[in-house]
Structure 1
Amino acid sequence: MVCVFVAAYLHVLSLSVGWFTVLGMVSFVLVPGAWLGAWAWDEVAQVLRDAGHAVHPVTLSGVAERRGVDAGQQEHVRDIVRVVEENDLRDVVLVGHSYAGVPTGQAAGRIGDRLRRVVYVDSNIPTDGKSFADGWSAEGQAWLRDQLEQTGGYWPPLTAEDYVGQDLTDAAIALILERGTPHPGRAVTEPAELVRPIGELPTTYLKCLMDGATPSTVVLEQLESPLWELVELDTGHWPMLSQPEALAKLLMAV
């Protein structure tokens, strides 16, 4: 009788542990910045999966293995939403790095109650009616237009010198240079289309301190929302490659 009771108790306990494990599971959708594909998240994704989470790294249209597609910014928004809907994801943490903060923030407003949190990783954030490049100086925008004209509408990847001082190993820099591809120009020049104010969404903004000690003015304005929080990581602009384990742990913490 005692043995039957213990066996039954252990069975219930096993079910309970399994239930709480499922409850604690999160679906991470990881979106890389300009020039990068889903490969940039490999190490971060492995840590998250080892912890029991579902992970969906995204390659945006026109980049990496999807190169050759003349994609605009709204196509990138649809890329992200499509991953969520086609996989029927729930408890979704949308993570956008650098440029990808712009389409990620728009996608967050379009997936409804599937969203658990938005995480901007040292990124730009969307402003309704404005493009990724609209916040640049007049000189910077002129430089970008010149770049796009010279390359037939694509934004060329950075050079090795641009990655110096960003906490990246020589191997990581070599990997970026080898696998980075030109970014569709329309994606950085088309305006954002918000269906919901980003200040109304639960959000974490991660500032990478080696790329500047404080967020931009537009980010600081959003941080006034009680639904937004600021966290910091002492690394460069590409933390998924410089500090992947620390970044993964931070994502799980938020």
Structure 2
Amino acid sequence: MPTTGDLGFVLIPGAGLGTWLWDPVVPHLEGPGLPVPIPGRGVSTAERRALTLGAAADEIAGAARTWEPERLVLVGHSLGGVLVPEVARRLSDRVAGLAFVGALVPGEDERGFDLQTPFQQMFIRLLGLVRPRGAKPPASALRKELCNDLDEATTASVVEHFEPVPEAPRLYRDRVTWAGVPDVPRRYVQLLRDQSVPPERQARMAAAIEAEMVTLDTGHLPMLSRPADLAAILNEVAGD
């Protein structure tokens, strides 16, 4: 494995989730971790609506460019997977591997929206009509989709810290291109008890991008339920 400082991990959380999600994982990585928030928070409604997928990727790539490690593994969780190929295109000379954790991963010219469940699509459409600033899903929905394998204290923390979604509608609706994405190892971590992104859909997405698929017997947030096991999988990505 590369020595610490040579390889770093850029960690992108899913919708509504903050950089705190990765805190339990970072100590187990064989290199420094850079958790980055999904862009679109803390800005006006007009700015959120105007934020493109490309502009969001520019923001994340900009943060990574000023970071010390020479080689980067890009890790996307849930909606964060939509951003990974776009960020990889912008950092092609430094990217050593791509990893997806229970992630939405569009193929060429696909959208993240197309990979969501019908209920999730309906929720996003409804928010666009009645809550243009976004909204926090009901606690019952968060518990069911995100926390089905977490203890009560961890579940309560997730519900408390979950932020209004969508951060920016175009993160779901802009089409992704893989043109210019470097030819580096790709690994998809399929979550067998995921209630947010169905495991069978995860398998199809992994196959579509020709990623190696490994499994964890967890719900949607293995960073909180099995952080050391997840880190071990991520540590192997650039060494494939």
**TM-score (ref. length: structure 1):** 0.77
Q: What amino acid sits opposite 1:196 in the alignment?
A: A
Name the residue aligned to 1:34: 15
Q: How far is 1:170 from its partner?
A: 1.1
Find out whether 1:57 has 2:49 as its counterpart: no
Matched, 1:234 2:221: no
Partner of 1:182: 164
Partner of 2:109: 129
Distance 2:18 2:2 in 1: 30
Counterpart check, 1:244 vs 2:222 = no
CA distance 1:160–1:90, change in 2 (3 Å): farther
Any idea what SS the aligned residue of 1:93 has? strand
Q: 1:86 to 1:23 in 2, by over 3 A?
A: closer
Number of aligned residue pairs: 226
The answer as to whether partners of 2:82 and 2:176 remain within 8 angstroms in 1 is: no
Displacement of 1:139 in angstroms is 6.4
Q: Which residue number in structure 2 is paired with residue 207 of structure 1?
A: 190
Greater alpha carbon shift after TM alignment, 54-63 vs 134-143: 134-143
The worse-fitting range, judged by mean Cα deviation, of 130-139 and 99-108 is 130-139
Q: Give me the whole-angstrom Cα distance separating, in 1, the residues matched to 2:34 and 2:117.
A: 35
**Of 133-142 and 106-115, the range deviating more from structure 2:** 133-142
| Deviation of the 1:201 alpha carbon | 3.7
Residue 130 of structure 1 deviates from its aligned partner by: 3.1
**Structure 2 unaligned residues grouped into runs of 5+:** none
User: What residue is the counterpart of 1:7 in the other structure?
Assistant: none
Q: Is the 8 A contact 2:193 2:217 kept in 1?
A: yes
Give the stretch that moved more between structures: 38-47 or 126-135: 126-135
Q: Deviations over 1:90-117 (max 9, x none)?
A: 2101000000000112211221120110
| One-letter amino acid of the structure 1 residue matched with residue 40 of structure 2 | G
**CA 198–241 in structure 1, closer or farther in 2 if over 3 Å, else same:** same
Question: Within 5 A, what are the aligned runs for 1:127-206?
Answer: 127-136=107-116, 140-154=120-134, 156-157=136-137, 159-164=139-144, 166-183=148-165, 184-194=167-177, 196=179, 200-206=183-189
Percentage of pairs with the same residue: 27
Q: Contact 1:199 / 1:222 at 8 angstroms: preserved in 2?
A: no
Which residues of structure 1 form unaligned runs of 5+? 1-19
* CA displacement at 1:140 relative to structure 2: 4.9
Q: What residue number does 1:85 align with?
A: 65
Q: Which has the higher contact order (CA 8 A, sep 6+)?
A: 2
Shift of 1:143: 3.6
SS at match of 1:144: helix
Q: Is the 8 A contact 2:92 2:180 kept in 1?
A: no
1:218 and 1:21 mapped to 2: Cα distance?
Answer: 29
Q: Which amino acid aligns with 2:98?
A: V
- Structure 2 length normalisation: TM-score? 0.81
- Cα distance in 2 for residues equivalent to 1:136 and 1:161: 15
